[in-house]
């Protein structure tokens, strides 16, 4: 849900959410059928991706280069992706989970090990992304795009830059003009971060403190947004919203009065990954496709079109300063140092967060 | 009536497909979910059927009962509004001329041609701060401000839009909008069957319009109202995307909690137990309805 273009039309608003789920299901019933005959893999690859999260012509270019046809289906959020795979792979070859869900799927044995000899373009990946705490040695995942979470705000309606989480989490200065994100783990994690704890805390008393902070702030909050905070900000419904950098970046192109800041207390650093799920019907093609995305030119075309920070260093080198030096795409090293990746904490901790969130919403 | 005994083949030919459908697409999935509600989580994807009641006990904790109660209030409020508005609408259709009736019915059914999710997004476009209602209100405000400006007064520094979205009223409005046709259609069916001479008699004998409605029309069409109430209230109780999209910070309904169990919480057994608690409550309400209806029937015979 955080990767779409800025058009605010009704149909788009719809297509971003559940509508596409249905479309994906229909697409799937056809693509899921063939299986087996591993030696003679059919020239197809089934790609399960976020909306507007690939280059305009990438799939066709890959087909022209290799003769392999890509059939792409879309999911709206990580929960949807995970729920689809819970009862077994419905027929996909390449999926794009975010780091914490990638970790969860590795732990659950839902991904297959990558054959690095089939992905020589891994050498194009920036050194910082050659390894990952959630996947040591990059055995199961390749990095795709990355970014931060922060506050999107309307410059003319806010005094200065809201550079602290305090503006949205513990202040009535902007009462009734704030949207928080309706995601239990992420929002409670941000509250914990503001209180000086880790975003990945598993201590019940720290989660409780985050819960109480949010409950206390509720009278000042207008809405817990379903990841449509950027729409609310653009339409003037709210003046501050907690959102993913890419979402705000896309509306900044439309409305110069909108800006984005990663608060001083630090925030969340996310990374989307390219993975091959267990029982993928076309594993060879899947490797070829991932390798193609990590090549310089295709990677540059994708990054330029979707305007997210790519982990593909060779691709970055092909792009100009308007991409590489955009602070909303690439946060400074100092900002990155203040941020934490969200990690998978196990099912017990997940339940603590969920129950805390239910109480926040019910309070 | 008992012809099927003489033609068993015909009977089976006709009853097999629907039975098959009912079993494969209704009973089997429902039984699986029911089993899930007595299961325990084992790791990330595994669940094990242990016949535990923990999920239900957890579902009966005060926090979930409070959320359920709030859902009942919101869904009940919406159902009541549907009923009160639905009666005059159903009446108007039933009493319209034969030429207009199909068109009016079509107007009631027409929204079904558009996906409910699109219609809910359309509501957002209508009611948000920079939506069509507020645009119209702003025009009126500007005109009025100009008028009072002529005599040296002012309505205020600048126009303040109405906050119509992101509260419980918006959720109730969204539910009414979504489920209103389900109330009108059964009401219409009952009013249509109503013998008009009863009303004429009541009016001739000196009863006013209100009296006629409450003493004659309402008791005779109550069955339709009851059907409408049931088919509006039950889906309204489980609504989740309407409070998601239109609700404010305290609009969480039980449907939202259930949705989260199947998605971010990844706790399908608990989600299944909550769903079934809702279903048991619904069965209870339906049984009560049947009981009331049965008693009414018996009473009519006695009289």
A223 touches chain B (CB under 8 A): yes
Collect all residues of chain A within an 8 Å Cβ-Cβ radius of residue B163. 176
Q: Do B117 and A185 touch (CB under 8 A)?
A: no
Task: Decide if domain A10-146+270-324 falls under CATH 3.40.190.10.
Answer: yes
pLDDT at A5 (0 to 100)? 40
User: B266 and A347 in contact by Cβ < 8 A?
Assistant: yes
Alpha carbon of A15: minimum distance to chain B alpha carbons (Å): 9
Specify the range with the lowest mean pLDDT, choosing from A33-37, A40-44, A251-255, A348-352: A33-37
Of the two residues A22 and A86, the one the predictor is more confident about is A86
pLDDT exceeds 80 at position B239: yes
Residue among B43, B249, B262 minimizing CB distance to A221 = B249
- Chain B CB contacts of A359 below 8 Å: 63
Higher pLDDT: A25 or B73? It is: B73
Q: What distance in Å separates the CA atoms of residue A230 and residue B136, rounded to the nearest whole number?
A: 25
Q: Is the pLDDT assigned to residue A151 strictly greater than 60?
A: yes
CB contacts, 8 Å: A80 with chain B: 263
Q: Could you give the CA distance from residue A238 to residue A236 in angstroms, rounded to a whole number?
A: 5
What is the distance in angstroms between the Cα of B179 and the nearest Cα belonging to chain A? 20
pLDDT of residue A39: 53
pLDDT of residue A7: 36
Query: Exposed/middle/buried for A16, CB within 10 Å: 0-12, 13-18, 19+?
Result: buried
| Side-chain-facing half-sphere of A207: CA atoms under 13 Å | 22
Confidence check: pLDDT of A327 > 80: yes
Distance from CA of A180 to the nearest CA of B (A): 10
Contact call for B244 and A182, based on CB within 8 A: yes
- Looking at residue A8, its pLDDT comes to 38
Contacts of B241 in chain A (CB under 8 A): 18
Which pLDDT score, from 0 to 100, does residue A25 have?
41
Q: How many CB atoms lie within 10 A of CB B5?
A: 8
Residue B145 has pLDDT above 50, yes or no: yes
pLDDT computed for residue A246 by the predictor: 85
Question: Is some CB atom of chain B closer than 8 A to the CB atom of A344?
Answer: no
**Average confidence (pLDDT) over A85-98:** 94
| Cα–Cα dist B155/B144, whole Å | 8
- Span A161-190, average pLDDT: 94
Mean pLDDT value of segment A86-105:
94
Please count the residue pairs, one from chain A and one from chain B, whose beta carbons lie less than 8 angstroms apart: 93
pLDDT at A40: 66
| Predicted pLDDT of residue A320 | 92
- Tell if the CB–CB gap between B121 and A14 is shorter than 8 Å: yes
Is the pLDDT at B218 greater than 50? The verdict is yes
* pLDDT at residue B39, as a whole number: 95
- Chain A residues near residue B45 by CB distance under 8 angstroms: 86, 108, 110
Which CATH number describes the domain made up of A147-269+332-362? Answer: 3.40.190.10
The confidence score (pLDDT) of residue A33 equals: 42
Residue A86, chain B, CB below 8 Å: the answer is: yes
pLDDT band at B298 (very low <50, low <70, confident <90, very high): low
Query: How far from A317 is each of A140, A292, A293, A295, A301, CA to CA, in Å?
Result: 26, 17, 15, 12, 12
Q: What is the pLDDT of residue A37?
A: 43
Q: Is A7 on the interface with B (CB under 8 A)?
A: no
Average pLDDT over residues B55-83: 95
pLDDT category at B208 given cuts 50, 70, 90 is: confident
Predicted confidence band of residue A12 (pLDDT cuts 50, 70, 90): very low
Is B158 in the A-facing interface, judged by CB distances under 8 Å?
no
Cβ distance of B115 and A19 shorter than 8 Å: yes
- Kindly provide the ipTM of the predicted complex, given to two decimals: 0.85
Confidence of residue B159 (pLDDT cuts 50, 70, 90): confident
pLDDT at A36 over 80: no
Q: CA-to-CA distance for A76 and A164, rounded, in angstroms?
A: 29
The verdict on B41 touching A (C-beta cutoff 8 Å) is yes
Which of A223, A232, A238 has the most B C-beta neighbours within 10 Å, making it the best mutation to test the interface with B? A223
Q: Which of A141-150, A152-161, A330-339, B283-292 has the lowest mean pLDDT?
A: B283-292
Cross-chain residue pair B125–A351, CB shorter than 8 Å: no
| In chain A, where the domains are located | 10-146+270-324, 147-269+332-362
Q: Which of residues 99-118 of B touch A (CB under 8 A)?
A: 115, 117-118
**Interface contact B262-A83, CB threshold 8 A:** yes
Residue A31 has pLDDT above 80, yes or no: no
Reply yes or no on whether the pLDDT at B277 is more than 90: yes
Q: Given a cut of 90, is residue A22 above it in pLDDT?
A: no
Whether B190 contacts chain A with CB within 8 A: no
A6 has a pLDDT exceeding 80: no
Token reading at B15: 């009853």
Q: What does the pLDDT average to over B111-132?
A: 90
Render pLDDT for A186-212 as a digit per residue (tens, 0 to 9). Answer: 999 999 999 999 999 999 999 999 999
- Predicted confidence (pLDDT) at residue A14 exceeds the cutoff of 60: no
- Mean of per-residue pLDDT scores for chain B: 89
pLDDT band at B257 (very low <50, low <70, confident <90, very high): very high
Assess whether the region A10-146+270-324 and the region A147-269+332-362 belong to the same CATH fold.
Answer: yes
B176 touches chain A (CB under 8 A): no
Q: Report chain A residues whose CB lies below 8 A from the CB of B247.
A: 223
Q: Tens of pLDDT along B5-51?
A: 778 888 888 888 889 999 999 999 999 999 999 999 988 888 899 99
Which pLDDT band holds residue B196 (cuts at 50, 70, 90)? confident
pLDDT digits (tens, 9 = 90+) for B71-92: 999 999 999 999 999 999 999 9
For residue A253, the model assigns a pLDDT of 85
The whole-number pLDDT of residue A361 equals 94
Q: Report whether A206 contacts A197 (CB < 8 A).
A: yes
**Any chain A CB within 8 A of the CB of B65?**
no
Q: Between B128, B245, B261, which is nearest A226 by CB?
A: B245
CB within 8 Å: B44 and A354 = no
The confidence band for B297, taking pLDDT boundaries of 50, 70 and 90, is low
CB contacts, 8 Å: B262 with chain A: 83
> What pLDDT score was predicted for residue B79?
97
């Amino acid at each position: 849900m955080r990767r779409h273009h800025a058009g605010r039309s009704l149909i788009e608003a719809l297509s971003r959410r559940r509508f596409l789920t249905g479309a994906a299901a229909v697409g799937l019933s056809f693509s899921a059928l063939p299986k087996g005959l591993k030696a003679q893999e059919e020239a197809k690859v089934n790609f399960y991706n976020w909306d507007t999260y690939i280059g305009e012509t990438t799939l066709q270019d890959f087909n022209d280069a290799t003769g392999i046809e890509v059939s792409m289906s879309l999911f709206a959020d990580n929960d949807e992706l995970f729920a689809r795979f819970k009862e077994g792979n419905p027929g996909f070859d390449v999926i794009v989970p975010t780091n914490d869900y990638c970790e969860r799927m590795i732990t659950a044995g839902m991904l297959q090990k990558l054959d690095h000899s089939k992905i020589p373009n891994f050498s194009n990946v920036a050194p910082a992304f050659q390894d990952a705490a959630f996947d040591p040695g990059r055995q199961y995942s390749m990095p795709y795009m990355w970014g931060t979470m922060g506050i999107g705000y309307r410059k003319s309606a806010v005094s200065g830059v809201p550079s602290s989480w305090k503006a949205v989490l513990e202040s009535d200065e902007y009462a009734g003009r704030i949207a928080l994100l309706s995601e239990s783990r992420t929002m409670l994690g941000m509250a914990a971060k503001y209180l000086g704890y880790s975003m990945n805390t598993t201590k019940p008393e720290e989660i409780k403190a985050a819960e109480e902070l949010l409950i206390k702030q509720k009278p000042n909050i207008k809405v817990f947004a379903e990841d449509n905070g950027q729409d609310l900000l653009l339409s003037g419904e709210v003046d501050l919203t907690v959102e993913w950098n890419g979402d705000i970046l896309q509306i900044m192109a439309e409305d110069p009065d909108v800006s984005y800041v990663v608060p001083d207390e630090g925030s969340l650093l996310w990374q989307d990954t390219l993975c091959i799920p267990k029982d993928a019907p076309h594993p060879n093609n899947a490797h070829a496709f991932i390798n193609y995305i990590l090549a310089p030119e295709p990677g540059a075309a994708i990054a330029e079109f979707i305007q997210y920070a790519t982990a593909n260093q060779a691709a970055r080198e092909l792009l100009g300063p308007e991409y590489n030096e955009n602070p909303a795409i690439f946060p400074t090293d100092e900002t990155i140092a203040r941020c934490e990746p969200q990690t998978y904490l196990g099912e017990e901790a997940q339940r603590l967060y969920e129950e805390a969130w239910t109480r926040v919403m019910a309070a | 009536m008992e012809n099927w005994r003489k033609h068993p083949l015909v009977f089976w030919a006709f009853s097999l497909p629907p039975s098959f459908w009912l079993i494969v697409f209704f009973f089997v999935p429902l039984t699986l979910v029911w089993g899930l509600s007595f299961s325990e989580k084992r790791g990330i994807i595994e669940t094990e059927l242990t016949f535990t009641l923990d999920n239900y006990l957890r579902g009966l904790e005060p926090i979930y009962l409070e959320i359920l109660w709030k859902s009942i209030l919101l869904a009940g409020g919406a159902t009541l509004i549907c009923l009160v508005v639905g009666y005059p609408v159903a009446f108007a259709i039933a009493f319209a001329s034969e030429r207009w009736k199909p068109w009016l019915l079509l107007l009631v059914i027409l929204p079904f041609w558009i996906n409910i999710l699109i219609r809910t997004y359309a509501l957002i476009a209508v009611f948000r701060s920079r939506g069509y209602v507020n645009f119209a209100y702003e025009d009126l405000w500007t005109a009025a401000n100009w008028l009072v400006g002529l005599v040296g007064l002012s309505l205020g520094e600048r126009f303040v839009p109405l906050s119509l979205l992101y509260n419980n009223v918006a959720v109730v409005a969204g539910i009414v909008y979504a489920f209103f046709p389900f109330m009108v259609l059964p009401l219409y069916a009952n009013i249509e069957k109503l013998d008009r001479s009863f009303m004429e008699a009541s009016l001739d004998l000196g009863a006013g319009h209100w009296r006629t409605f409450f003493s004659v029309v309402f008791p005779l069409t109550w069955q339709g109202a009851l059907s409408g109430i049931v088919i509006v209230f039950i889906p309204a109780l489980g609504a989740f995307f309407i409070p998601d999209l239109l609700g404010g910070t305290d609009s969480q309904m039980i449907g939202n909690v259930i949705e989260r169990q199947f998605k971010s919480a990844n706790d399908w057994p608990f989600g299944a137990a909550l769903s079934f608690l809702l279903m048991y409550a619904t069965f209870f309400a339906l049984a009560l309805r049947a009981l009331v209806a049965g008693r009414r029937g018996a009473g009519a015979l006695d009289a």
